[in-house]
Chains A and B, each alone.
Chain A
Amino acid sequence: MTQNDAGGSAPALRTDRLGRRYGRVWGLRDCTLEVPAGAVVGLVGPNGAGKTTLLEMIIGLLQPTEGQLSVFGETSHAHMAARLARVGYVAQDHPLYRDFSVADMFHLGRAMNPSWDQELAQARMDALAIPLKRKVKGLSGGQRAQVSLTMALAKRAPLLVLDEPVSSLDPVARLEFMREVMAAAVGTGLTVLIASHVVSELERLCDWLIVLTGGHVQLAGPADDLIAAHRLLTIPRATADAELPGLIIHRTDSDRHSTVLVRTDPVRLAAQQPPGWQADLVGFEQLVMSYLQRPSKAAAKDDTAQAAARPGPATKAVTR
């Protein structure tokens, strides 16, 4: 898979204060990220959070209003074909031409992509028992999703971008689809970016996480690092926010106790932790859900404070 080495040591994706405005509304703002090559990234956020906006700018379907973006070091809009060649894209709802056969779709892929891998495409259809002669309109939703995925993979691009790939599928098709994505990602060096609002399906797959709400990046980094940088504190209810070490992400008060998710330095917390406080590691899903529930205005306000606590945007390569 030599194509996956495109760009050498450049990060798969780098954005710097990237923003996109629709009329007077910002779909995405101040998005600064650096995703290493080979990462499998979950991009989580509620509907309207700016996920599709970010993805469409990565592919080149949308032009940023402000900021910079590079894919494997390629920034130039003058070389649109070079940009397009680096990204395989599975769009939401898996658009395909309804009156095309599967073979026609692959013919289109071959005609429009110089690095098209016809053998891979046909082998995948054989394995999935999808007949090449079948028209797209005769395929099930799950099969269409698989054809879309196959087209993106056969393009042999080093970055695979999936926008809500399973939200329209039934549970069995979801499982099969994610299994195929995982099989394609593991051990090949392919960088994968999956946008979803279903957190549970990402946990097993992703080693990198980006949480987006209200057009702002709330959280970004290797999943293990993020989990290590958070603690779930159980404390007496009377404890004031100011007394808590680190940044408060989410607080739930019950009669006598409060449960607080904080972003903190575990070493400092261990040194300062008063008796009667309990500090637990947080799970992937709970971590994500806590950030999703956070009002985005609060997030925007303490962006600067958060930047200090942020565990350096992906300075260390993810080992897989």
Chain B
Amino acid sequence: MIWVSWRQHRGQGIACLGVLAALAVYAIVLGTSMRTAFGHDGLTACLVRSQGTACPAGVTAFMNEFGSEVNIAFWSVALIVPGLIGVLVGGSLIARELEYGTWRLAWSQTVPRARWLAVKLALVTGGLIVVGAAMTAVITWYRAPMDRLTGRFMHNIYDFEGLVLTAYILCAFGFAVLAGLLLRRSIPAMVAAFIPWLAIRLVVEFVFRPHFMTPLTATVNCTHGCGYGIGFVPQATGRIGDLVLSITPPRTGALGGVITYQPADRFWIFQSIEAGIFVALTAAALGATIWLLHRRAS
């Protein structure tokens, strides 16, 4: 069964390696120039001294050069690519057998279909975890200099690093496998899985993520304004990577404003919570698939 699964999915495996290779090339080119610029702008010493507030010119120069890479080019990719990988691999897993009639071949060998599916799912899931982890590692490496200025809590950074990228891929995969069994056709299954995946992904990011844990509150001096500060350093807290959720400016004449924020050191807790949500959704979808397939015929 291991050989069978490998033989049937090796094309997808090679395609995933291709995507990874392209990403790696991009990352090496950009990561290297980022590191050079980082040293050139003297940001390391500045960060050690003052969290970046003492060298606004250097931070601004660096962000002008590389900020757009983080903000725009990767935003759409961050959002869509994990879902695409997941649905492309998952949508065909069962649906292609049903489309081409090969289910009659696959399920009439001596391996019961529930076992057939369990082995395939285990192996393909394992492969996707490797792909997700590799993408995360590549992206985390090349953006390390940038992360030192921005922290890792901002939307388009958080979505790439840590655990969530892999969890997003798995979730789209699980949805697509289930949709493939229900719809019996690959392309509709991919579409039907991608749409709810994207909806859940966005709702979790913008509605639930800021409140995974109760935000901290701080009263700050807004003498010099209460904006988000130089670069990505929240002026209000003065610590890189704190995610400021809301700023209540002081009434005219008063000095103190109130902010709510998620501190930077909650990054891994938040990653774990969000990855847990998507892994649970994956498990539910794949569990339902195995149960339905087993019930349909056993």
Contact A96 B105 (CB under 8 A): yes
Q: Is B206's beta carbon under 8 Å from chain A?
A: no
Contact B4 A108 (CB under 8 A): yes
Q: Is A291's beta carbon under 8 Å from chain B?
A: no
Q: Is B298's beta carbon under 8 Å from chain A?
A: yes
Q: Is A84's beta carbon under 8 Å from chain B?
A: yes
Q: Which B residues, 104 to 158, have Cβ-Cβ distances below 8 Å to chain A?
A: 104-105, 107-112
Q: Is A60's beta carbon under 8 Å from chain B?
A: yes
Contact A84 B110 (CB under 8 A): yes
Contact B298 A84 (CB under 8 A): no
Interface residues on chain B, number (Cβ under 8 Å): 22
Q: Is B7's beta carbon under 8 Å from chain A?
A: yes
The interface residues of chain B lying within 8 Å CB-to-CB of A93 are 101
| Complex Cα spacing A114 to B109, Å | 10
Least CB distance, B5 to chain A, in whole angstroms: 10
Contact B7 A107 (CB under 8 A): yes
Least CB distance, B61 to chain A, in whole angstroms: 52
| Complex Cα spacing A151 to B104, Å | 13
Q: Is B246's beta carbon under 8 Å from chain A?
A: no
Least CB distance, A157 to chain B, in whole angstroms: 9
Least CB distance, A54 to chain B, in whole angstroms: 14
Given that A91-B105, A95-B102, A95-B104 are contacting pairs, would A113 and B110 also be in contact in the complex, using a CB cutoff of 8 Å?
A: yes
Least CB distance, B246 to chain A, in whole angstroms: 55
| Complex Cα spacing A111 to B8, Å | 13
Contact B112 A84 (CB under 8 A): yes
Contact A84 B108 (CB under 8 A): yes
The interface residues of chain A lying within 8 Å CB-to-CB of B101 are 91-93, 95
Contact B104 A107 (CB under 8 A): no
| Complex Cα spacing A55 to B271, Å | 51
Per-residue CB contact flags for chain B residues 1-33 toward chain A (1 = under 8 Å, else 0) read 111100110010000000000000000000000
Q: Is A59's beta carbon under 8 Å from chain B?
A: yes
Given that A109-B109, A155-B109 are contacting pairs, would A61 and B104 also be in contact in the complex, using a CB cutoff of 8 Å?
A: yes
| Complex Cα spacing A91 to B108, Å | 9
Residue of B7, B8, B103, B108 near A87 (CB, 8 A) is: B108
Given that A77-B298, A93-B101 are contacting pairs, would A111 and B108 also be in contact in the complex, using a CB cutoff of 8 Å?
A: no
The interface residues of chain A lying within 8 Å CB-to-CB of B100 are 95, 98
Contact B104 A89 (CB under 8 A): yes
Q: Which A residues, 69 to 117, have Cβ-Cβ distances below 8 Å to chain B?
A: 77, 80-81, 84-85, 87, 89, 91-93, 95-100, 104, 107-109, 111-115
Given A60-B297, A108-B109, 20 more A-B residue pairs with CB atoms under 8 Å apart are A59-B108, A60-B298, A80-B112, A84-B112, A85-B110, A87-B108, A89-B108, A91-B104, A91-B108, A93-B101, A95-B102, A96-B105, A97-B105, A100-B7, A107-B7, A109-B109, A111-B3, A111-B4, A112-B1, A112-B4
Query: Chain A: residues with CB nearer than 8 A to chain B?
Result: 59-63, 77, 80-81, 84-85, 87, 89, 91-93, 95-100, 104, 107-109, 111-115, 148, 151, 155
> Can you sample 6 A-B contacts with CB below 8 Å?
A61-B104, A84-B108, A95-B101, A95-B102, A111-B1, A115-B110
